[in-house]
Structure 1
Amino acid sequence: MSSALSRRGFLAGAGGMALATLVPSPANATPKTASPAPAAPRSKTALSIRGADLSFLPQLEEAGVRYRDLAGRVRPAEQILAHEGANYMRLRVWIDPPPGYSDKARALALARRARKAGMKILLDPHYCDFWADPSKQPIPASWPADLAGLTTKIKSYTRSLVRAFAAQGTPVDLIQIGNEVTNGILWPVGQLYLPDGSQQWAAFTGLLKAGTEGALEGCGGHRLRTMLHIDKGGRMGDTRWFFDKMVEWGVPFDVIGQSYYPMWHGSMAELRANLNDSVTRYGKPVLLAEVSYPWTFEDGDGRGNIVGPDAYLPDVDRFPVTPAGQAAFYEAVRDVLAQVPDGNGLGFMAWEPEWVPGVGWQPGAEASNDNLTQFDFTGRALPSIRSYRRP
């Protein structure tokens, strides 16, 4: 990703960060306030997946960050979340990232910590050397550059990756075939929309199928579910367009994965409508593979955040930008998922809730997500971590 990254170039692809804020508020948008949040409804339905992407955690600890639970006790972040009820950890894997960032070895080590904390594994291979999202999906430098070679490589790589997790006693429970693949994968070979207006559905879906085959071959006797992950939370038309095509082209998948950041992906009502529609239309369960919400508009490292006071938050009256408002947001997300038809709202994964100031999105850069975390700037847990509870 570039240093000028926008959330539609990065966080919109989750997994990344932009320098400035960057979705202007519509003229008729409700002004943001810091008023107290109303009491949040507490869903009584258990969600089967309640977790977080903690891929930056080892780097943050190496930078000296320490985390404290709601009582102020210093504990590893994954244990704090697990104590509150989190049962899944999402792990990002890059091929050849800058030193210290999320490569295979780092992900394997973090998986061991997840297992020790009682968490299952959602694996997120980006199939890139660094950030992949809807605005960029570059082929790893060491990989082939032709369709036949890439089809073989994505299958063998995914198979080997899944086997490595199983071999150390931390088998993968859910894997997404690429990160926010709305616009394709392994560009330009698997890029879906080309500058000349053409669409490469055959190449794109062929690569998805090969990755899925590799994952299933690598899991051995462990039950592994596969997920297709896009970034259209509350956008029903875009979701239908993508998954209608997946069905048409015969791409196998077990779970529909969505990113949901309300500043980019719509209101809570739109999210509810889209998830309910997807379950009915495709007969598959849905998972919010990435979700976050600001607890402040302050900037923890003073170097720029992707979401600032000018961001458009469609439900800010319900969820003011305060720790209490953030907690209310997560409770509402739980409620939406709990009401998906036939129990098909699997749950949610908070995106990098531990990414407090200390580590940049790339070496030397800022932590432009530090007001979207579930820990404050000092590493103290915020009330929203209670959303990981089981009931």
Structure 2
Amino acid sequence: MIRKHPVRTALGVVTAVTVACGVAAFGPAAPAAAYFGEAEISPIESDISEKPWAGVEVSSGASTADLAIDQDDRTAWTADGTSADQWLTLDLGGAYDNVRKVEVVLPDAGAVYQYVIESSADGGSWDVIADHSADQRPTRGSVDLFTQPGTRFVRVTFTGASPGATAGISELSVYNYLRDDLVLGADASWVDNDVAEGRDYWVSPTEEDPGAGPHLLDVLQDRGMEYIRLRIFNEPRSESSGDVLPVPYQGPERSLEVAEWIKAERDMGLGIDFHYADSWADPSKQPKPREWAELEFDDLTQEVYDYTYDYVEQLIEQGTTPDKVAIGNEIINGFMFGSEAALIGTTDPAYFRNQPEIYQSQPGGGLLWQYWGSEDPEEQRLYDEAWDRFTTLSAAGIRAVRDVSADHGEDIDVETHIATGREDKALEFWHQYLTRVNAKGADPDVLAHSYYPEWHGSPENIEHTLNAVAAAHPGYRIEIAETSYPASGGGGAPMPNSTYPRTVQGQADALQRVFQIANDIPNNQGLGVLAWEPARWQSMFTAVPGMTRTWEPNASIDVFSRSRASHAVEDTVYAAALVGGEVALPDSVEVLTMADGSTGPVPVEWDPVPDGATDTAGRVTIHGSTEYGAVTAVLDVVDAYAGLDCDRVISGRHAGPLTVTEGVTCLDGATVSGPVSVRAGASLQADGAVIAGPVRADGAAAVVICDSRISGPVTSSGTSSVTIGDPVLGCAPNTISGPVTGTLWWNVIAGNTISGPLTCGENTRPPVNNGSANTVSGPKSAQCRDL
């Protein structure tokens, strides 16, 4: 059974997710400098285990499974029974091509854990990410780097743990990074106004070398934008009077020229956004073009097809084939409103309201949301008929793009673009829309949404909505076609539904959060993010004092070039030490190169360990640096390493044989005048003991012998865990007659003085000495030959 967070399609409150900009993983976040302030910008990393669509499955201990991904390392999933072969699988909710780092945090600071981490695309075939099955030093966790495109599942399987360790996981995190194919760009349609008005844009206008410019597109491209969208008004008109504008900004002819600036001259991606209106079209207003306003519906449908086909063909023929075409702009309420406006109640724009005999004379494509879910048959009929008209018009536009693409041998994506802050409305829209346009023989490629927090809610709200849409319609790409955030105003207070201040830094952080949302949609469905009019609306540019009609970019604009990681670093090192002991930190950590997936060591320069760091038990953080960024060592200082909890303690003298039948029996400085037997499921821990006779364990849970003298061999058959000396973990060596062990997983024989031969066989894993060789008077053989 898989235990999940709330599913993607659920309504209601969602978990807040913070953008993790991995300073420690990618290199120092150098400030991006500009006239209007600075911004700390680091590549984005995001822990998918935090997402509400992630879930876990475990081998046992299911009641605590979710604690492994609750973002609180003070809680833990704990397995039932032995540590061996227990596992936990994290389901990321879909495949990801650019998850590159996995972090495991374990429950006991003073224990040794042995485990293997694997990844899988389907839960059936697994690839090893990291093998910690030979680890012998106590540590509370690990950070491992990997490259496995298509990863959906990550599994941790325990192969062993030191005696007394709690089998479980405090936190399992899998980190995602921006894909190279995530499109980052902007709607910069006003660029034709900019050129006509003589506006100059420079990267650094006050420097001797001002950098890219003066064309806005040069600066946008230089700052990392790779794609530009253009809105198209049919016949640009005044929004108030409806009169034709003397200069047809964003009209078809002018936009053909702008397309050449974008595609032919700069080789940037090009998107076309048909408004199918002579002025602004958005959720509150969707007027028909004047030329089409009085057409009967069938003629209107044909005009949509012809106009769309003809304009896209002009773009193709001039060598500026668009990469994507949007059939309408923010059409959550439909588009090309007509006579149904009387029922919708819309009054905007002014000319639409003032000239109803023209603009409202024939049916159009407006939707009647007020009848959604109505039980009145007449209202339901009107609701369905409005949907049918709207999708008939939309299907005509889609078919036109498909036909002109086929006729010219081009591949152009088709987008449908909406804007709403309501998840239920978005899901209803896409269900109705896709069902109906598919029935009419049309289908878009991209389902696009606008996101502005002041109108569409918190980042968590849009994230939940987009993931619900993606889950409901897995065959489509998802795009955030418009977004922006101000760098000033409101005294710096955040915008409604946001936590980011209206500053340059807040602008950068807000946009990076939106990038993260698109990138984290499962199955790589997120296509990209476009900022809306970054030089004009909630601008990412600032006028330069003393330089007429000259603007420079805010430092925040560097999110478009600095949000992708070139490297990932093993940025956290876990270590343990005894109170009063020495601190040992590694000389290097691993670094992964994103471009080719290669990994290798990079030297670490650690800050000095604080004075008295190990004087008392607790946790100490030590900072380090590499050429790729910061590293943190998490040092757990413990009074003693993990050990068995005693159910019975024997000290002093014990006459005759000793048989342990259940629980944990501890010999604390005891003298036993006879053999010791440990039965199935029971455990023995001897420290400073003297045993006159052999020790034998059959199917026991654990046998731990430290600092003891045994007059006979120690033999084991089918025991889960055997420790005969382990100085690394504070288990002092023993003096014994040659042991013969047969264990299932944990098996350490280290530092002992052994009279006679040392032979080992039938161990699932050969014994190890952890660097403390045994002194043996006889031969070493079989699995013990190297001890």
- TM > 0.5: yes
Partner of 1:28: none
CA distance in 2: counterparts of 1:39 and 1:267, whole angstroms: 22
Q: Write out aligned runs for 1:292-331 (5 A).
A: 292-297=484-489, 312-316=495-499, 319-331=500-512
Task: Name which of structure 1's ranges 67-76 and 120-129 shifts more when overlaid on structure 2.
Answer: 67-76
Structure 1 residue 50: Cα displacement: 1.1
Residues 38 and 277 of structure 1: CA distance in aligned 2, closer, same or farther (over 3 Å): farther
Task: Name which of structure 1's ranges 256-265 and 99-108 shifts more when overlaid on structure 2.
Answer: 99-108
Which whole-Å deviations, capped at 9, do the CAs of 1:43-69 have from their partners, x for residues lacking one? Answer: 432243111111111212322321121
1:286 paired to 2:425: no
Q: Write out aligned runs for 1:130-209 (5 A).
A: 130-143=279-292, 144-188=294-338, 189-193=364-368, 198-199=382-383, 200-209=386-395
Residues 237 and 382 of structure 1: CA distance in aligned 2, closer, same or farther (over 3 Å): same
Task: Name which of structure 1's ranges 67-76 and 267-276 shifts more when overlaid on structure 2.
Answer: 67-76
Which whole-Å deviations, capped at 9, do the CAs of 1:278-336 have from their partners, x for residues lacking one? Answer: 111101111111101111017xxxxxxxxx989852222xx110011101111111112
CA distance in 2: counterparts of 1:215 and 1:36, whole angstroms: 43
Task: Name which of structure 1's ranges 213-222 and 165-174 shifts more when overlaid on structure 2.
Answer: 213-222
Structure 1 residue 134: Cα displacement: 1.3
Partner of 2:456: 265
Report the 3-state secondary structure (helix = DSSP H, G, I; strand = E; otherwise coil) of the residue aligned with 2:397: helix
1:42 paired to 2:44: yes
Structure 1 residue 112: Cα displacement: 0.7
Q: How many percent identity over aligned positions?
A: 30
CA distance in 1: counterparts of 2:266 and 2:535, whole angstroms: 16
1:114 paired to 2:262: yes
1:347 paired to 2:528: yes
Partner of 1:223: 411
Partner of 1:249: 436
CA distance in 2: counterparts of 1:36 and 1:54, whole angstroms: 24
CA distance in 2: counterparts of 1:385 and 1:70, whole angstroms: 13
The runs of 5 or more residues in structure 2 that have no matched partner are 1-36, 46-176, 237-244, 339-363, 372-378, 545-550, 565-787
CA distance in 1: counterparts of 2:197 and 2:311, whole angstroms: 28
CA distance in 2: counterparts of 1:146 and 1:240, whole angstroms: 31
Residues 151 and 386 of structure 1: CA distance in aligned 2, closer, same or farther (over 3 Å): same
Partner of 1:382: 554
Structure 1 residue 79: Cα displacement: 1.4
CA distance in 1: counterparts of 2:519 and 2:198, whole angstroms: 38
Q: Write out aligned runs for 1:231-242 (5 A).
A: 231-232=419-420, 234-242=421-429
Of structures 1 and 2, the one with the larger relative CO (CA 8 A, separation 6+) is 1
Task: Assess if the C-alpha contact under 8 Å between 2:479 and 2:528 holds in 1.
Answer: yes
Larger radius of gyration: 2
Across the two proteins, how many residue pairs are aligned to each other? Answer: 330
Q: Write out aligned runs for 1:53-68 (5 A).
A: 53-68=187-202
CA distance in 2: counterparts of 1:293 and 1:377, whole angstroms: 18
Task: Assess if the C-alpha contact under 8 Å between 2:234 and 2:277 holds in 1.
Answer: yes
Report the 3-state secondary structure (helix = DSSP H, G, I; strand = E; otherwise coil) of the residue aligned with 1:175: strand
What residue identity is the alignment partner of 1:333?
V
CA distance in 2: counterparts of 1:71 and 1:255, whole angstroms: 38
Residues 65 and 177 of structure 1: CA distance in aligned 2, closer, same or farther (over 3 Å): same
Task: Assess if the C-alpha contact under 8 Å between 1:41 and 1:332 holds in 2.
Answer: no
CA distance in 1: counterparts of 2:368 and 2:494, whole angstroms: 28
What residue identity is the alignment partner of 2:535?
E
Report the 3-state secondary structure (helix = DSSP H, G, I; strand = E; otherwise coil) of the residue aligned with 1:142: helix
Residues 267 and 68 of structure 1: CA distance in aligned 2, closer, same or farther (over 3 Å): same
CA distance in 2: counterparts of 1:181 and 1:172, whole angstroms: 21
Task: Assess if the C-alpha contact under 8 Å between 1:263 and 1:311 holds in 2.
Answer: no
Partner of 2:225: 86
Please give the root-mean-square deviation of Cα atoms over the aligned residues, in Å: 2.4
What residue identity is the alignment partner of 2:560?
Y
What residue identity is the alignment partner of 1:228?
T
Structure 1 residue 350: Cα displacement: 0.7
CA distance in 2: counterparts of 1:109 and 1:248, whole angstroms: 37
CA distance in 2: counterparts of 1:335 and 1:140, whole angstroms: 37
CA distance in 1: counterparts of 2:182 and 2:321, whole angstroms: 18
Task: Assess if the C-alpha contact under 8 Å between 2:494 and 2:502 holds in 1.
Answer: no
What residue identity is the alignment partner of 1:77?
L
What residue identity is the alignment partner of 1:174?
K
CA distance in 1: counterparts of 2:437 and 2:231, whole angstroms: 26
Structure 1 residue 194: Cα displacement: 8.0
Task: Assess if the C-alpha contact under 8 Å between 1:38 and 1:328 holds in 2.
Answer: no
Task: Assess if the C-alpha contact under 8 Å between 2:39 and 2:555 holds in 1.
Answer: no
Task: Assess if the C-alpha contact under 8 Å between 1:173 and 1:223 holds in 2.
Answer: yes
Structure 1 residue 235: Cα displacement: 2.9
The runs of 5 or more residues in structure 1 that have no matched partner are 1-34, 299-307, 356-368
Q: 2:253 aligns with which of 105, 112, 116?
A: 105
CA distance in 2: counterparts of 1:327 and 1:311, whole angstroms: 13
Which whole-Å deviations, capped at 9, do the CAs of 1:152-196 have from their partners, x for residues lacking one? Answer: 000000000110100110001111101111111111111112889
CA distance in 1: counterparts of 2:437 and 2:198, whole angstroms: 48
Structure 1 residue 123: Cα displacement: 0.4
Report the 3-state secondary structure (helix = DSSP H, G, I; strand = E; otherwise coil) of the residue aligned with 1:121: strand
CA distance in 2: counterparts of 1:250 and 1:230, whole angstroms: 15
Task: Assess if the C-alpha contact under 8 Å between 1:294 and 1:326 holds in 2.
Answer: yes
Task: Assess if the C-alpha contact under 8 Å between 1:121 and 1:172 holds in 2.
Answer: yes
Task: Assess if the C-alpha contact under 8 Å between 1:36 and 1:322 holds in 2.
Answer: no
1:126 paired to 2:268: no
Partner of 2:396: 210
Partner of 2:733: none
Higher share of residues assigned strand: 2
What residue identity is the alignment partner of 2:422?
R
Residues 70 and 281 of structure 1: CA distance in aligned 2, closer, same or farther (over 3 Å): farther
Structure 1 residue 202: Cα displacement: 0.8
Task: Assess if the C-alpha contact under 8 Å between 2:322 and 2:412 holds in 1.
Answer: yes
Report the 3-state secondary structure (helix = DSSP H, G, I; strand = E; otherwise coil) of the residue aligned with 2:201: coil
Structure 1 residue 70: Cα displacement: 5.0
What residue identity is the alignment partner of 2:332?
T
Task: Assess if the C-alpha contact under 8 Å between 2:38 and 2:504 holds in 1.
Answer: no
What residue identity is the alignment partner of 1:313?
P
Higher share of residues assigned helix: 1
Partner of 1:359: none
Which whole-Å deviations, capped at 9, do the CAs of 1:343-367 have from their partners, x for residues lacking one? Answer: 1111111111112xxxxxxxxxxxx
CA distance in 2: counterparts of 1:86 and 1:312, whole angstroms: 25
CA distance in 1: counterparts of 2:444 and 2:459, whole angstroms: 25
